[in-house]
Amino acid sequence: MTYSTEFFHRVEGDLFIEQVPLSTIANEFGTPCYVYSRAALDSVWQRYDRAFGQRRHQVHYAVKANGNLAVLNTLARLGSGFDIVSGGELARVLAAGGEARKIVFSGVGKSAAELDAALRAGIGVFNLESPDEMERLNQVAGGLGLRARVAIRVNPDVDAHTHPYISTGLNENKFGVPMTEALALYRRAASLPNLEVTGVACHIGSQLTDLAPFEDAMARVMALVTALAADGITLSHIDAGGGLGIRYKDETPPSIEDYVAVLCRAIPDTYEICIEPGRSICGAAGVLLSKVEYLKTTPARRFAICDAAMTELIRPALYEAWHDVQTVSAEAAQQPEHRYEIVGPVCESGDFLASDRPLRLREGSLLAIMCAGAYGYAMASNYNARPRPPEVLVDGNAVHLARPRERIEDLFATERLLPDDPK
Ligand code: LLP
């Protein structure tokens, strides 16, 4: 069992999300369809928040994981802050009722227009990733007569041999500023008139299932903070980034409480602790519903060809990610069990959702692809001119259509035919 039995459970064999059968949602909104549990979002966010106890802290949900307005609004109502990486995400957070001062702006390539929009909105802090970005922000802020609060995102170069799965915290990655350059950059930041240095940030990777790399990274960041203090640069917050993993298959990620305890141990009381969790908040809260269109047997394989594809959930195709696949309805038990390749209709051999899964299927069977709430819809595309699916948020027995299915005419509504050829 890889799904949370708190928010997903079976009643007489039928799979429910909170109090609603997933088959009811499929009937009402069609498939493919994303479905999220509000209680699951609330529960994880509150666990993070509670784990800090009396420590000064702010949870900044990483919008990139799932930027649906209803999801953002759910978290904003809890008092969440937000970690954004674009002007688009800024606009989404503001439209969803997020507070500007609780926004941190991450990302290696913020454009002048994005810096300008974020400054005008009055966001909390910019996580700077390069010397040139720092100069540009100083300039844009000066033009607006504003002072930008900044943290520098450092790259702690956490040892790849010990933790080979870490991808963003290594020197060869494009992210952050090397530790060796951080001090000089902080000095420069402190000297610029339109910047106010308030913190330090780091983010070492995603889907981490071990506490050791977080501990290593925090130790390195705190060593820098101490060196900065000796240099007269005092910070008020430490941003530890996101990255806590979830259980897709048989991973055993640390608990939220243990993870937060590591941060609280590593960071002295005088600092506010900020985090940027994405996947761990919304990943297990969502499923992708899909219908089997055809069962097709070739001499080598049995395929279940579904109406969802890499266009809805690209993680298997892109990262060979493993998502649990469950049949939704009790009647599946009547079908013979076979091992299936779960694939979509997209014209790519890489278009698969799952491989070699023992399932009881027939044409028309409903499937739930589990733990699809993070980096699912957010990475969906219109490849093969496929409209993107609806998103539904369930709250107890209430079903809220958070985004309707795209219509085919939406796909090319803004495109233009050529002008007439000259006679
Ligand atoms: N903060 C920063 C600066 C980040 O780059 C990220 C994720 C996060 C926070 C949130 O990390 P999380 O808590 O979600 O692990 N598309 C990939 C994941 C890419 C993560 C990118 N950065 C996937 O589907 O696995």
Ligand 1: residue of 279, 312, 322 to mutate (most ligand atoms within 8 A of CB) is 279
How large is the average pLDDT for residues 73-97?
98
How large is the average pLDDT for residues 40-67?
98
Provide the pLDDT for residue 163.
45
Q: Give per-residue pLDDT as tens, 322-355.
A: 999 999 999 989 999 999 999 999 999 899 999 9
Count of beta carbons in the 10 Å neighbourhood of residue 394: 25
| Known catalytic residue at 347 | yes
The C-alpha atoms of residue 416 and residue 418 are separated, in whole angstroms, by 6
Residue 3: is its pLDDT beyond 80?
A: no
The C-alpha atoms of residue 10 and residue 28 are separated, in whole angstroms, by 20
Distance from the CA of 15 to the center of ligand 1, in angstroms? 29
Residue 64's pLDDT band, with cuts at 50, 70 and 90, is: very high
375 lines ligand 1 (CB under 6 A): yes
317 lines ligand 1 (CB under 6 A): no
Residue 107 Cα: closest atom of ligand 1: 3
89 lines ligand 1 (CB under 6 A): no
Distance from the CA of 206 to the center of ligand 1, in angstroms? 5
Residue 158: is its pLDDT beyond 90?
A: no
Distance from the CA of 91 to the center of ligand 1, in angstroms? 19
253 lines ligand 1 (CB under 6 A): no
Domains and CATH numbers, the chain: 8-37+283-411 (2.40.37.10), 106-277 (3.20.20.10)
Q: Give per-residue pLDDT as tens, 92-131.
A: 999 999 999 999 999 999 999 999 999 999 999 999 999 9
243 lines ligand 1 (CB under 6 A): yes
Are 213 and 263 contacting, i.e. CB atoms less than 8 angstroms apart? no
The C-alpha atoms of residue 297 and residue 21 are separated, in whole angstroms, by 30
Q: Provide the whole-model pTM.
A: 0.96
How are beta strands 272-275 and 57-62 bridged, if at all? parallel
Q: Which residue has the tokens 């290594």?
A: 170
Minimum mean pLDDT range among 146-150, 169-173, 193-197, 257-261: 169-173
How large is the average pLDDT for residues 140-161?
89
The C-alpha atoms of residue 47 and residue 28 are separated, in whole angstroms, by 33
The C-alpha atoms of residue 30 and residue 138 are separated, in whole angstroms, by 50
Cα distances from 384 to residues 288, 296, 305, in angstroms, run: 19, 21, 16
Residue 410: is its pLDDT beyond 80?
A: yes
For ligand 1, atom 8, name the residue with the nearest CA: 242
For ligand 1, atom 19, name the residue with the nearest CA: 206
Distance from the CA of 361 to the center of ligand 1, in angstroms? 34
Residue 161's pLDDT band, with cuts at 50, 70 and 90, is: very low
Provide the pLDDT for residue 170.
67
Q: Give per-residue pLDDT as tens, 176-233.
A: 999 999 999 999 999 999 999 999 999 999 999 999 999 999 999 999 999 999 999 9
Distance from the CA of 244 to the center of ligand 1, in angstroms? 9
The C-alpha atoms of residue 58 and residue 200 are separated, in whole angstroms, by 14
